[in-house]
Amino acid sequence: MTDILISQYFSKLYLRERGKYTVVNKEDSKKVNHPDNRSDYKKDIETTTIANYVRNIKVFFNYLYLAEREIPKKTVGIIGKLKPERKVKKTLIPDEIKKVFK
């Protein structure tokens, strides 16, 4: 794998074009799991999810490089960090707080 290939895979465009639940290991699994019945089928993948994928792959490749010496260099070094937008959570009003503690 090359830095460029990994960067292309994790580019927002590729992952967002693919959409949720569109890739399967075996086509027969679609007959069992029915991903097309999901309300979020083919919807955009959140930036947070993509950032998690990138982080997990970086950890794995660093493990291969540092601990196992399976790869000759840090392959995923050029992939930048994605900064997901934070969603502002609704503040509870006093009555809602009372309900939580009952």
Q: What is the model's pLDDT at position 75?
A: 65
Q: What is the model's pLDDT at position 92?
A: 93
Q: Say yes or no to pLDDT of 99 above 90.
A: yes
What pTM, to 2 d.p., does this model score? Answer: 0.57
Tokens of residue 99, six digits: 């309900």
Helix (H, G, I), strand (E, B) or coil at 77: coil
Give residue-wise pLDDT tens across range 12-70.
Answer: 556 667 777 777 778 888 888 888 898 888 888 888 888 888 888 888 888 888 877 77
Q: What is the model's pLDDT at position 7?
A: 66
Residue 76 and residue 63 in contact, taking contact as beta carbons nearer than 8 Å:
no
Residue 75 and residue 2 in contact, taking contact as beta carbons nearer than 8 Å:
yes
What is the secondary structure of 26-37 as a DSSP string? STTHHHHH-GGG
More confident residue, 95 or 60: 95
